Amino acid sequence: MSEDAFLAAYDPDAYGRLALAVDVVLMGIRDGRPAVMLVRREEPPQAGLRALPGGFVGVTETLDAAAARVLREKAGLSDLHLEQLYTFGAIDRDPRMRIVSVAYLALLPEAAFTAAARNGAGLLPAVIDVPWAGEAGGPVTVRDAGEGGPLALAFDHADILALAMLRLRGKLDYSAVGFALLPERFTLRQLQEVHEAILGTSLNKPAFRRRMLDRSWLEPTGVREAGTSFRPPELYRFRRPR
């Protein structure tokens, strides 16, 4: 059978259909702790629960384009660090039908995260509590930014968030992912605070700074931080690969 004949006879309804969605873990640092933006589901299923911003993928839309659209429409954000995290396809993950979701991780500097909480339509910041050390992995919980009780998340979004934290911890030391959580110019103190917030532990200051400076990631700006007492610290920027 020729290719044209095969395609002419092919019946796409011969197999069960499923829907494809994207969910975005929009993460930042808030008061020295990892935090995530959530939305409140207004309609069933699971109305009233918090959820990650997400949406269905259009027939003519790529996955990356769908994730970027979700960020624009639900958070008013663009040009962020955005990377594919994992595909979640449990048969019963959504009560409506078989829906497979491709999760994405998007990172915001603290000032931009705070601004998004104020300006994003319906975005609700929540603090992430990680009970496990290092890269052990396991469940995480979220609490609203007002330090309320644990929040129930819709669908399998708690699992998505737990994997996002595990991925971020795993990549922090060998990749430049942590710089997406910092402003364009930052101090070594701010860099260490980001690492400590994500790792959930204190780091030795001299050892951390020596390790960071020994790498080719940091470029001195020749500018010092304004508005500080005594001798203000120098500001650095991330040196992008050429």
For domain 177-238, say whether CATH 3.30.420.40 is its number. no
Burial of 238 (0-12, 13-18, 19+ CB in 10 A): middle
User: Residue 126 and residue 143: Cα distance in Å, rounded?
Assistant: 5
To which residue do tokens 């104020």 refer?
118
Per-residue pLDDT tens digits for 176-220: 999 999 999 999 999 999 999 999 999 999 999 999 999 889 999
Q: Which CATH superfamily is domain 17-172 in?
A: Nucleoside Triphosphate Pyrophosphohydrolase (3.90.79.10)
Question: Is residue 152 within 8 Å of 49, Cβ to Cβ?
Answer: yes
In this prediction the pTM is: 0.92
Q: Where are the domains of the chain?
A: 17-172, 177-238
**Residues 117 and 125: beta-carbon distance below 8 Å:** yes
pLDDT category of residue 19 using cuts at 50, 70 and 90: very high
128 close to 34: Cβ distance less than 8 angstroms: yes
The whole-angstrom separation of Cα 235 and Cα 134 is 29
Closest CA to 39 of 3, 84, 71, 64: 71
Residues 6+ apart with CB under 8 A from 148: none
To 10 degrees, the CA torsion angle through 224, 225, 228, 232? Answer: -30
Give residue 17's pLDDT band: very low, low, confident or very high (50, 70, 90).
Answer: confident
Task: Please give the structure tokens belonging to residue 150.
Answer: 């644990």
Q: What is the mean pLDDT of residues 133-160?
A: 92
Tens digit of each residue's pLDDT (9 = 90 or more) over 74-131: 888 888 889 999 999 999 999 999 999 999 999 999 988 988 877 756 889 999 999 9
Q: What is the DSSP string of 49-116?
A: SEE--EEEPPTT--HHHHHHHHHHHHH---S-EEEEEEEE--TTSSSSS-EEEEEEEEE--HHHHHHH
Q: What CA–CA distance (Å, rounded) separates 130 from 197?
A: 10
